[in-house]
Structure 1
Amino acid sequence: MATRFLIEGRVQGVGYRNWLQEEARRRGLRGTVRNLSDGRVEAVIIGSYEETDAMLAACRKGPPLAKVSGIGLDPIDDPDVSGFIVLRDY
């Protein structure tokens, strides 16, 4: 199962991408994360429903300096990604 998270709030310039990468790796998830030009962070999370749901709960809190105001979710086709990587910004 692959889900795209669109994370809104104060999520750029606060270590959110690196935090998310470490959190996903710790949980054994695959996927990607990147900053978007509109100030949001986009993450593609690949894992079971339970793992994805747990990651969603973690993303709502984020790292200490972040302030998440909302997360949009979209199911997507499972991209062929090994591990969890930070992509270049849009």
Structure 2
Amino acid sequence: MSIFNEEPFLIAEIGVNYYDIAKKENISNMDAAKLMVKEAKDAGCNAVKFQSYKANTIASKNSPAYWDTNEEPTTSQYELFKKFDSFGEA
């Protein structure tokens, strides 16, 4: 598909799901992030965007879980997102 005779520029979004990949593949978080970048490239993406946030900017401390707590036992959105507050920090 082309728009104005140019191919679209595809951007893959990588959030904190790389933590799950690292755990599943038994690799470091950095290696998981690199793997996801490679997979995005192999899928035809031109770039990747890393999403980052702080728990207190996206969830109330009283926000209940909206996910299957059998898979992820944390019952508070704030507490789950807080686990990833160090994303991108040295």
TM-score > 0.5, shorter chain as reference: no
Larger Rg: 2
Decide which structure has greater strand share. Answer: 1
Decide which structure has greater helix share. Answer: 2
Higher relative contact order (CA 8 A, sep 6+): 1
In the superposition, the TM-score normalised over structure 2's length comes to 0.28
